[in-house]
Amino acid sequence: MRKLYAAVAAAFYLAVFAPVVLAQANSADVSTAAAVPAGEYNPADIPPFLISFAKRHDFHGKLLEDAKALKLPPAGFAQFYEKQTRARLGKFFAPYHAVLDAAQRDYSGAYALYFSQAAARPGDPEALLFKSITAFIYKRYGEALEGLKTVAAQKPELYDGLPYYWRGKVYAQLDYPGDAVADFNAVLKMLPGNPAALNARSQVFFDIGYYSHAAADLNGFFKNEEAESPARRLAAFDERCETLRYKGYAIAGCADLKAEGERIAQTAVPTLSSATAAAWADVERIASQSGIADNKALSVLCQTQSAEYLRAPDFPVRRFKTAIYLMDKAVELDPRRAAAYARRGLLKFRLAQYRAGAYADALADLRAAAALDPGAPGGWVWHMIAVVCEKYDEFLQARSAIDEAARLNPKNPYFRHERARVLLLEGDLPGAQAEMDRFFSLNPDGAYAAQAASGPECRMLALQDLGAGGCKDKEYFAGANPVSRPALRLPPW
C-alpha cells in the first residue's frame, strides 16, 4: 500500500512518456536462454542473468567446454554452470559489495573514506561511483545524482551498468519514475536478467500502478536471484507480493504468508508451549508473593510481564507469541480494560509481517480499546487506528481516526505528522502543508525532525512549490532533472 500521492504524480508523468518507457521496458530484459547454442546441455534451468554475465565476460564457451571435458551428465550441468558463474560474479563485484557493507555499517565513516578517495583520485570513475553510492545511502540525493551523472557519462559500463542502476535508484527515491525506468532499462540492456535492476524496476512500476509490468519484473527477479539470498527473502515478504496476488497475478517466488505463519507456529509449538507455561507460572508466582488476587490487578500484571518479553533488542517470534498470550490472559481477566486491548493490538500490528490477517486482528483490538476508553491514552489508540487503516488504503477512516487523535492531543507532533500524510493521501495539499508547519512548530526531537525534513511529505510538497517551513526541499532536490520535474505536477482534484 504505497503512497497514493506519489503514485498519482508518477502515473501522470508516465501518461506523457509511457509509450517510450514501456517499449524500452518490454525489450530490455529478453531472456538469453534461447541464444545459447543447442547441444547436449540444456540451458533452460540456468538463470538468464548468469548466462548474460558469462557471455559478457567471455567465459560462457569455456564453461561448456569444461563441462564436456569433465563428462558431466546433463542433469548436473545447470548446477555446475551456476556454481562457477556465481563464484566469478562474487569476485567481480567484491569491491562494490565492500562499499555497500562499509556504508551500511558506518554511514559517516564510509562517506569520509570514499569522499577522500574520490578527492585523491580526481577523474577516476570508480572512486566517484563509490562516493556517490555512499552519498545515496547517506541520503545526500543531490550529490549522489550529480556524481552518478558524471560516471554514467564517462564509463557507463562500470561494474556492468552500476552507474545507471544507482542513478535509477536516486530518480526512484525522488519520484521521477520515467527517468528511473529508463536507467534500469539501460542496465538490463547491458546485462539482461540483472535481478537487482528487475527488482528495482518492479518497485517503480508497482508504485505507479503498472501492475502487469511490476509482476513480470518481480517474477524475473525471483528467476534470476540466488536462492536463499537476503534480497530474495526480503522480496518474498514484500507488500508487492500480497497486492499483486490479490489482483490476480501469479508470482512464483512470493511467500505464502498464511502457510509461513502456520509453519512458524508449528515449529514453535514445543518452545512456545513451554514458554507460555513458564510465563504464566511467573505471573502466578509474582501475584502470590505480592498478595495479588483481584482479576483487574492480575490483568495489569500480565501486561507488565508481557512487556518484559520484548525488551531484548533482537527477540525471536516466540517472544511475540508469548507476549500476546499474556495479553490474551490480561483481556480474559479484565475484558473492560481498554489498555489491555490497546497493548494487544499494538503487538499484533508488529507481528503482521509474520502472520496473515494480523492487521485485521490488530485493528479489531484497537477499535475495542477506543470504544472502551475513547480518550486514553492521550490519543495514541486513535493514532494507531489511523496507521493500520492506511495499510488497507482506507483513507477516510484513517482521516477520521487521526483527526480524533489530534483533537485529544493537539500538541503531539507525531499526530500532526501523521495527519499531514493522510491529507496528502487524500489530495489536500494546502491542508498537508499547514499540518507540516504545525508539526515543525511543535519542536519534535532532533532525529525525528531531521528525518521528517527529508521525508516523502516534504518532497511531495516541494514538487508543488508548497514546501513547509522545516522541509529541506532545496537540499534534497539539488541536481534534480529540470525537464521532468514540471511533469510531476499533480493534476487538480
Grid cell 556465481 in the structure block, residue:
86
Q: Are residues 147 and 13 in the same domain?
A: yes
Band of pLDDT at residue 273, cut at 50, 70 and 90: low
Q: Domain boundary at 229, 255, 281, which? A: 255
Grid cell 564457451 in the structure block, residue:
61
Which comes out higher in pLDDT, residue 71 or 5?
71
Q: Are residues 416 and 441 in the same domain?
A: yes
How many domains does the structure of the chain reveal?
4
Q: What is the pLDDT of residue 20?
A: 44
Q: Are residues 175 and 232 in the same domain?
A: yes
The C-alpha atoms of residue 66 and residue 76 are separated, in whole angstroms, by 13
Q: What is the pLDDT of residue 152?
A: 94
Q: Domain boundary at 255, 276, 304, which? A: 255
CA 285 to chain centre: 43
Residue 345 inside a domain? The answer is yes
Q: Are residues 62 and 198 in the same domain?
A: no
Q: Are residues 241 and 150 in the same domain?
A: yes
Residue 25 inside a domain? The answer is yes
Q: Are residues 153 and 230 in the same domain?
A: yes
pLDDT at 203 over 70: yes
Highest-confidence range of 7-16, 274-283, 409-418, by mean pLDDT? 409-418
Q: Domain boundary at 61, 92, 123, which? A: 92
The predicted model gives 324-330 an average pLDDT of 86
Q: Are residues 77 and 39 in the same domain?
A: yes
Torsion of CA 271, 277, 283, 284, to 10 degrees: -160
Residue 368 inside a domain? The answer is no
Question: What is the reported pTM?
Answer: 0.52
Q: What is the largest CA-CA distance in the chain?
A: 81
Give the single-character DSSP code of 158: G
Residue 212 has a CB neighbour count (10 Å cut-off) of 11
The C-alpha atoms of residue 262 and residue 326 are separated, in whole angstroms, by 20
The predicted model gives 235-253 an average pLDDT of 80
Residue 493 inside a domain? The answer is no
Q: What is the pLDDT of residue 240?
A: 84
Residue 366 inside a domain? The answer is no
CATH number of the domain that residue 141 is part of: 1.25.40.10
Burial class (CB in 10 A: 0-12, 13-18, 19+), 288: exposed
pLDDT at 182 over 60: yes
Cβ-proximal residues to 54 (8 Å cutoff; 6+ apart), any chain: 60, 63, 81, 85, 88
SS3 sequence of 244-261: HHHCCCCCCCCCCHHHHH
Helix (H, G, I), strand (E, B) or coil at 272: helix
Give the single-character DSSP code of 39: S
Q: Are residues 267 and 342 in the same domain?
A: yes
Q: Are residues 335 and 435 in the same domain?
A: no
Cβ-proximal residues to 115 (8 Å cutoff; 6+ apart), any chain: 131, 134
The C-alpha atoms of residue 243 and residue 240 are separated, in whole angstroms, by 5
pLDDT at 5 over 90: no
Evaluate whether 50 touches 56 at the Cβ level (below 8 Å).
no
The predicted model gives 145-170 an average pLDDT of 92
- Indicate the length of the chain as a whole number: 493
The string of DSSP codes covering 322-381 is HHHHHHHHHHHH-TT-HHHHHHHHHHHHHTTTTSTTHHHHHHHHHHHHHHH-TTTTTTHH
Highest-confidence range of 140-144, 272-276, 354-358, by mean pLDDT? 140-144
Q: Are residues 103 and 143 in the same domain?
A: yes
Cβ-proximal residues to 368 (8 Å cutoff; 6+ apart), any chain: 338, 341, 345
Burial class (CB in 10 A: 0-12, 13-18, 19+), 108: exposed
Q: Are residues 298 and 318 in the same domain?
A: yes
Q: Which three cell numbers stand for residue 99?
A: 562499499
pLDDT at 491 over 50: no
Evaluate whether 238 touches 232 at the Cβ level (below 8 Å).
no
Residue 323 inside a domain? The answer is yes
Residue 358 inside a domain? The answer is no
* Domain housing 408: 374-481
Q: Are residues 233 and 273 in the same domain?
A: no
Residue 492 inside a domain? The answer is no
Which comes out higher in pLDDT, residue 155 or 258?
155
